[in-house]
Amino acid sequence: MSQLTIEDIARIAGVSRSTVSRVLNGQPNVRPSVRDRVQEVINSYGYAPQAAARQLVMRKTRLIGLILPDNAHHLFGNPIFAEIARGVSQVCAQRGYTPMLFIGRQDMNEATFFSLLRGRHFDGVILISSDRQDRSAAMLREAGMPYVRVGHDPEDDGDLQYVDVDNVAAARVAVEHLIALGHRRIAMLKGLAKDVCTHARLEGYRQALAAAGLPFDEALVGDGDWTPASGYAWTRRFLDLPEPPTALFSSNDMMVAGVVRAVQERGLTVPDDLAIVGFDDLLQTTMIFPELTTIRQPCVEMGTCAAELLLDQLEHNRRERVQIILPTALIIRQSCGYCRQAVQASASAPAVSGEEQRAG
Amino acid sequence: MSQLTIEDIARIAGVSRSTVSRVLNGQPNVRPSVRDRVQEVINSYGYAPQAAARQLVMRKTRLIGLILPDNAHHLFGNPIFAEIARGVSQVCAQRGYTPMLFIGRQDMNEATFFSLLRGRHFDGVILISSDRQDRSAAMLREAGMPYVRVGHDPEDDGDLQYVDVDNVAAARVAVEHLIALGHRRIAMLKGLAKDVCTHARLEGYRQALAAAGLPFDEALVGDGDWTPASGYAWTRRFLDLPEPPTALFSSNDMMVAGVVRAVQERGLTVPDDLAIVGFDDLLQTTMIFPELTTIRQPCVEMGTCAAELLLDQLEHNRRERVQIILPTALIIRQSCGYCRQAVQASASAPAVSGEEQRAG
DNA sequence: ATACCTCGTGGGATCGCTCCCACGACTTGC
DNA sequence: GCAAGTCGTGGGAGCGATCCCACGAGGTAT
């Protein structure tokens, strides 16, 4: 039951290895009655071909590696990656591949990681990383492993194919929304400096301010690290300013949890004392009170896109440069104060709560 | 540069396959000068042996599979799994194994999953599941794949080795704490019925009530699903009761986010109007205001334990039944109202905020 | 009836590694 | 000084699949 080989199945079914192999791989030129008999033997013995032997001759594993950012707290803590993984998984399943996630790359030295890649465990890899310091992309190239990246670095054109969003434009839309609501002092929470998207989102913030003729105030920019704790700490500092901000744009939704806590601790409320727009649109944060206005990233679609690209690369040997920028959307809920204001002012604008507006 | 084999390396270094193999595997009986020369060739060409060929003869992959619960929202959304994975990863790295996470098992039919297991991609598997309906454990056994389970079902003794916590005792400690604080009407938020730990935690709740002579009120038990949304919905119902609860025990921390929102929406506060104790001790929830009193699960340790067991099973062929129950701890913060009360009553109890107390 | 396909089937070669054994050179013990 | 190790090395066999080719049976066209 445990160590059956194709040879055993062949003997039991009274045919040759070749015939069993043909049945296994759904190839033609097998008499239906023989095919059924072989299939029955396979099923009743619970036989499945040993992957290693198959790989050796086929030079394919039909396994796709998924590499997430090194930071483990992000990794699972932030559902954005789960969504991307879901997209990847859908496409893979549909096209007969199995995606696997590298766990704990940080526990592994570079040499080990490299051998893992060179060992050809995977036909290809999807790399989710906007981390400029991350050596993964370089190692993937060095190892000759086909990959598609989710996220990219405009200063590094080493990635043949990537999928990303326009972080600059998305952030600009978010901040413009706050400006349109009348805010003049708008704080900004940055993510980690090592992540490229941090700089892009800051740039969007600057552009929105500049376009509205508002000054850029260094004191209103907080050096966050994507975690709620950093959102909490910076918001306290913002609220302690002689002239505190009336609005805040956070580079991700997770930090907003800390922002809200800091605001409430002072006995203040959102959005009246601080209007907030986030980034990501995590499902979880619908439990933040009030509901969060945020930039939705098309996470699942980023995953499906990346997977389609990768599998095309593998199956049709497509090697041209492909760079896909997917659209984001500003999702207006309560935390920015838009809806309240619309009611108060009896504005002619239609109700847009929960509706989507294209950004970028 | 891309398709070098051991034969090529041997030719370049002027030795035989066997010698290269010995160098590769750190075996003795190679002259130091030869070893160095071979190693240099290996390094300079970036050669790494092809895993499939090696596996075929060694019958080992040094890969460990990690299977998470089917529900994708849990999956990444709940950092508890990240912590367990971290523990697994540490031990694996240390002992020369590489852990890989199955992604999107829900996109895969059972036959595919089974072939994946029978294909012997992994030497062993760590299964994180307290789901009674989950067929994974059965399939692992059927496929003859060694595995260790994190979580278990007392009504199913099919698992040879598992690591778990005493959910009944932990929940009892949580509820007893609320009772000791003077609460008489204590609500309980259950998790999904398919998860075994849901029933265990409910049982702990019942035991605590019974021990204190308090009645079990069906109306105070909410059918949660682990998500903040369900915590929100049930808390609204609880607060609408003619005689609402003054305290609540939630089967996990994530649901508490919804509970707090519902409480705040009514203009009520935690812990004054509703004292809360959670379960898991997620880092994120330290941003819940006020800070959450909760049961800490030793997640990382569960991971390391499970990995140690599995690798011992693989390397020393240990096949005896091992069932490890790790201790939990009640972490007292503000949400239960203990600290406030201690101050008010000038109790003789020492300050225990943030301290740990053993449960079970 | 002969030549020529097509179909169904089996067997040998092969993938890239590790393992086992053979064998020569050198060391050690009596 | 000769038998009996030990050490370093190379080559053959084999892991369990797939793939290619050979070959016989049967059908169709000439």
User: Edge-to-edge strand order for the sheet containing B247-250?
Assistant: B221-222, B186-189, B247-250, B275-280, B293-296, B328-331, B356-359
Instruction: Report the pLDDT value the prediction gives residue B359, as an integer from 0 to 100.
Output: 40
Q: What would the DSSP string read from start to end of A104-171?
A: -GGGS-HHHHHHHHHTT--SEEEEE--BTT--HHHHHHHTT--EEEES--TT----SEEEEE-HHHHH
Distance of alpha carbon A285 from its chain centroid, rounded? 17
For residues B331 and B356, the answer to whether their CB atoms sit within 8 Å is yes
Cα–Cα distance, B76 to B216 (Å, whole number): 34
Question: What is the CA B34 to C1' C26 distance in angstroms?
Answer: 18
Size of interface A-B (CB pairs under 8 A): 183
Q: At what angle do helices A6-13 and A17-24 cross, to 10 degrees?
A: 110
Instruction: Report the pLDDT value the prediction gives residue A291, as an integer from 0 to 100.
Output: 84
Instruction: Report the pLDDT value the prediction gives residue B284, as an integer from 0 to 100.
Output: 64
Chain C bases closer than 7 angstroms to a protein Cβ: 7-12, 14-20
B-chain residue closest to A286, CA distance: B229
pLDDT in tens, A298-321: 999 999 999 999 999 999 988 899
Backbone phi and psi for residue B221, each to the nearest 5 degrees, phi listed first: -110, 120
In chain A, residues 287 through 346 whose Cβ sits under 7 angstroms from any atom of nucleic acid strand D: none
Length of chain A: 360
For residues B307 and B149, the answer to whether their CB atoms sit within 8 Å is no
A-chain residue closest to B291, CA distance: A261
Instruction: Report the pLDDT value the prediction gives residue B77, as an integer from 0 to 100.
Output: 61
Quick check: B48 and A90 CB within 8 A? no
Secondary structure (3-state) at B162: strand
Choice among A35-44, A271-280, A314-323, B278-287 with the minimum mean pLDDT: B278-287
Q: Can you read off the two tokens belonging to residue B50?
A: 């092809």
Per-residue confidence band for A348, with pLDDT thresholds at 50, 70 and 90: very low
pTM above threshold 0.95: no
Which of A77, A120, A264 is closest, CB to CB, to B51? A120
Instruction: Report the pLDDT value the prediction gives residue B345, as an integer from 0 to 100.
Output: 39
B165-184 residues touching A, CB cutoff 8 A: none
Position A135 pLDDT exceeds 50: yes
Cα–Cα distance, B149 to B33 (Å, whole number): 47
Position A341 pLDDT exceeds 70: no
Q: Can you read off the two tokens belonging to residue B335?
A: 């949400």
Any bridge partners for residue B66, and if so which?
B101, B126
Q: Which residues of chain A form CATH 1.10.260.40?
A: 6-49
Structure-token match 């907003």, residue found: A256
Instruction: Calculate what percentage of chain A has a pLDDT beyond 70.
Output: 90
pLDDT in tens, A254-308: 899 889 889 988 999 999 999 999 999 876 666 676 789 999 999 999 999 999 9
For residues A126 and A66, the answer to whether their CB atoms sit within 8 Å is yes
Q: Which residues in B129-143 are b (16+ Cβ under 10 Å) and which e?
A: bbbeebebbebbeeb
Average model confidence (pLDDT) across chain A: 89
Identify which of B273, B283, B281, B292 has the alpha carbon closest to the alpha carbon of residue B339: B292
Using CB atoms within 10 Å of the CB of residue B313, give its burial: 0 to 12 exposed, 13 to 18 middle, 19+ buried.
Answer: buried
Q: Can you read off the two tokens belonging to residue A188?
A: 């900004």
Per-residue confidence band for B317, with pLDDT thresholds at 50, 70 and 90: confident
Q: Which residues of chain A form CATH 3.40.50.2300?
A: 63-165+300-327, 167-297+329-359
Pick the CATH number of A167-297+329-359 from 3.90.1150.10, 2.40.70.10, 3.30.420.40, 3.40.50.2300: 3.40.50.2300
Pairing of strands B161-165, B147-150: parallel
Instruction: Report the pLDDT value the prediction gives residue B67, as an integer from 0 to 100.
Output: 93
pLDDT in tens, B215-245: 999 999 999 998 888 999 999 999 999 999 9
- Residue type at A254 in one-letter notation: M
Instruction: Report the pLDDT value the prediction gives residue B71, as an integer from 0 to 100.
Output: 62
Pick the CATH number of A6-49 from 1.10.260.40, 1.20.200.10, 3.40.50.10860, 3.40.50.2300: 1.10.260.40
Instruction: Calculate what percentage of chain B has a pLDDT beyond 90.
Output: 72
CATH code at A63-165+300-327: 3.40.50.2300
Task: Work out the widest C-alpha separation in chain A, in whole angstroms.
Answer: 88
Q: Which CATH superfamily is domain B63-166+300-327 in?
A: Response regulator (3.40.50.2300)
Average model confidence (pLDDT) across chain B: 89
CA triple B148-B103-A85, angle to 5 deg: 145
For residues B346 and B203, the answer to whether their CB atoms sit within 8 Å is no
pLDDT in tens, B59-100: 999 999 999 887 644 445 677 888 899 999 999 999 999 999
Position B334 pLDDT exceeds 90: no
Cα–Cα distance, B293 to B359 (Å, whole number): 14
In chain A, residues 52 through 71 whose Cβ sits under 7 angstroms from any atom of nucleic acid strand D: 53-54, 56-58
Instruction: Report the pLDDT value the prediction gives residue A235, as an integer from 0 to 100.
Output: 97
Choice among A287-291, B273-277, B355-359 with the minimum mean pLDDT: B355-359
